[in-house]
Structure 1
Amino acid sequence: MSIIDSQFSIHFWGVRGSIATPGISTVRYGGNTPCVEMRCHGKRLIFDGGTGMRSLGHDLMRYVPVESDIFFTHTHWDHIQGFPFFTPAFIQGNKFNIYGRQTPSGATIQEILEGQMLHPNFPVPLRVMAASMQFHNVKLGEPIELGNGVIVEPGALNHPGEATGYRVSWGSQVAVYATDTEHFPDRLDPNLVYLARNADVLILDCTYTDDEYWSEKSPKIGWGHSTWQEAVKVAEAANVKKLAIFHHDPCHDDDMLDAIGEQAKERFPNAVMAKEGMSLEISAGDRDREAVLSSSRAGAVDLTH
């Protein structure tokens, strides 16, 4: 089975956290903010709408009409700012189901996405998007059945303003998308370990190193993100097969991410550094194959379907 024929595959369109970081020092891993696509047994799922969503949208235009389910972890800028530039949303005949939890103040995902496209922030309102869009409020403890046996299980993450992780399963095949989340200082987050249980692939927030997180001069405690060292602990506790280190800090250039990847592999041999243009395949016979497609240049990724 090739990556093109895979029934369950993961494609990375944006892997950077906090703010987009284009430039010569981020070319290999990419500078776009979070957007991950999963193709699972006839269903297309999109997680988060960071700036990587623009590149995904350009790719999807080759396959109109497009139907997809879009899941937002939360509504911080780096996870929604690509949505107004998602070209398929402007095309009549395309269909999208859009999922997200209400914010602590009670705002729905629809209200947040509409709000960022109002003056003076954006020139055209959401209503000019001609695609069919249905909005759904995600509730913890209520799995979402998408059809074809694909089930999405939401789980709470530890992040300022709240965030939601998602567990995608088809039978025994499982991928988990968990960003943004901060580890606890004295124990593993039981909600996160449960969400990631026995997953084939865990995509996890690893923004910082331990040294950065606990720095005496500029600690990152309470900023809502974890470290790759803590991610390894979660992967081991949850019996994860492959760990994808994700949500790279904007200050981490390609060389530093190379070094982090080497250290992570020493601790967890099946750790990989998420990068734009990378695809991971989950299959019953071979769950560990990966393909880095020909273009890994930030903002110019072309994933083959």
Structure 2
Amino acid sequence: MSRIENQFTVQFWGVRGSIPSPGSHTVRYGGNTPCVEMQVGGKRLIFDGGTGLHVLGQSLLPQMPIEGHIFFTHSHWDHMQGFPFFVPGFVKGNHFYIYGAIAPDGSTIEQRLNDQMLHPNFPVPLQIMQANLNFHDIKPGQAIHINDVTIETASLNHPGEAVGYRVNWHGGAAVYITDTEHFPDRLDENVLWLSRNADILIYDSTYTDEEYHSPSSPKIGWGHSTWQEAVKLAKAANVKTLVIYHHDPAHNDDFLDCVGEQAAKEFPGAIMAREGMRLQVPASVSLSESFPISKFSV
């Protein structure tokens, strides 16, 4: 087994929510919308296709041909707007397996990615992409097996629905939970289950409690959570590292510095998501192990 096949890493390519926020006020944390890459036992897993996916794609060009698995939480613009600009998807010889739940209106992830690339919204259709694209409809609660990697899924509390993911590999676990809104009187059982004893929990912390409950402009019902709720969850789930994620576009670097300081005081394992940040998940791997075949025949 090579060194890469013996690793579980998490890299952040887009950490901002709602809308891209480039500019001098977001330099330290980044302004691209959600995209997180995990390299797990030699497999490349990509979570969400915000504008950060374009940046990831540029980094992959010297490595082609590429094989990867792309998991969408849902199809709000900030989570899929980078897909039409994902250059490796246009290159013949690359292979991508794409996963997403069926939307409440019955549309598949393939249909929704196709629709955003139709006129008058985009100049070229999905069918012009020359990479081999294999689409998989998933049901929240379903486990996905890719060789020796297991991805668990659960429904999140978000308008239009969304899916959370937990990646398990040889005793290590990283969890990707965005977009979701906490419940006022209890922890979300689905979120708590996904987060259990995780090495890394990436959690939607768009707002502060003060913003969420603002008398003049409350964010209740908007589908997002707060960093204070993230801390509650991390403590209850026995998480090692909490990553504050999906930063509000109005939160500049100085504001996020303050959030990071407060969160770390409440939970020493809390850190702020930054574009380019790379984390290592500990895992116990035997170089002599053989791996089972994926049920998706990947």
Normalised TM-score (structure 1): 0.91
Deviation at 1:5, TM superposition (A): 8.3
Find out whether 1:171 has 2:174 as its counterpart. Answer: no
Find out whether 1:151 has 2:150 as its counterpart. Answer: yes
Q: 2:56 maps to what in 1?
A: 56
Cα distance, 1:95–1:4 mapped onto 2, change above 3 Å? closer
**Partners of 2:282 and 2:168 in 1: CA distance:** 12
Q: 2:248 maps to what in 1?
A: 249
Q: 2:142 maps to what in 1?
A: 142
Could you tell me whether the CA contact under 8 Å between 1:6 and 1:281 is conserved in 2? no
Find out whether 1:262 has 2:244 as its counterpart. Answer: no
**Partners of 1:196 and 1:189 in 2: CA distance:** 11
Deviation at 1:4, TM superposition (A): 7.3
Matches within 5 A, 1:188-267: 188-267=187-266
How many residues are treated as equivalent by the alignment? 282
Q: 1:40 maps to what in 2?
A: 40
**Partners of 2:246 and 2:142 in 1: CA distance:** 26
Cα distance, 1:6–1:276 mapped onto 2, change above 3 Å? farther
Deviation at 1:283, TM superposition (A): 1.7
**Partners of 1:5 and 1:281 in 2: CA distance:** 13
1:101-137 Cα deviation digits (max 9, x unpaired): 0100000000000000000000000000000000000
Query: In angstroms, what is the RMSD of aligned CA positions?
Result: 1.2
1:244-285 Cα deviation digits (max 9, x unpaired): 000000000000000000000000001010000100001248
Deviation at 1:140, TM superposition (A): 1.9
Identity of aligned residues (%): 63
Q: Which runs of 5+ in 1 are unaligned?
A: 286-305
**Partners of 2:6 and 2:142 in 1: CA distance:** 28
**Partners of 2:74 and 2:16 in 1: CA distance:** 15
Q: 2:30 maps to what in 1?
A: 30
**Partners of 2:207 and 2:53 in 1: CA distance:** 24
Could you tell me whether the CA contact under 8 Å between 2:7 and 2:283 is conserved in 1? no
Which residue identity is paired with 2:180?
T
Q: 1:282 maps to what in 2?
A: 281
**Partners of 2:210 and 2:255 in 1: CA distance:** 14
Q: 2:20 maps to what in 1?
A: 20
Which residue identity is paired with 2:223?
G
Could you tell me whether the CA contact under 8 Å between 2:263 and 2:270 is conserved in 1? yes
Q: 2:184 maps to what in 1?
A: 185
Q: Judge which range, 6-15 or 119-128, deviates more.
A: 6-15
Cα distance, 1:197–1:262 mapped onto 2, change above 3 Å? same
Which residue identity is paired with 1:80?
M
Deviation at 1:142, TM superposition (A): 1.7
1:192-235 Cα deviation digits (max 9, x unpaired): 00011010000000000000000000000000000000000001
**Partners of 2:235 and 2:170 in 1: CA distance:** 22
Which residue identity is paired with 1:150?
V
Which residue identity is paired with 2:90?
F
Could you tell me whether the CA contact under 8 Å between 2:182 and 2:224 is conserved in 1? yes
**Partners of 1:265 and 1:5 in 2: CA distance:** 32
Counterpart of 1:25 in 2: which secondary structure?
helix
**Partners of 1:5 and 1:28 in 2: CA distance:** 31
1:41-97 Cα deviation digits (max 9, x unpaired): 010000000000000000011100000000000000000000000000000000000
Deviation at 1:189, TM superposition (A): 0.5
Could you tell me whether the CA contact under 8 Å between 2:203 and 2:245 is conserved in 1? yes
Stretches of 4+ aligned residues off by more than 4 angstroms? 3-6
Deviation at 1:171, TM superposition (A): 2.4
Q: 1:301 maps to what in 2?
A: none
Could you tell me whether the CA contact under 8 Å between 1:174 and 1:200 is conserved in 2? yes
Q: Which runs of 5+ in 2 are unaligned?
A: 285-298
Counterpart of 1:45 in 2: which secondary structure?
strand
**Partners of 1:141 and 1:256 in 2: CA distance:** 36
Find out whether 1:97 has 2:97 as its counterpart. Answer: yes
**Partners of 2:168 and 2:154 in 1: CA distance:** 14
Which residue identity is paired with 1:41?
G
Q: 1:68 maps to what in 2?
A: 68
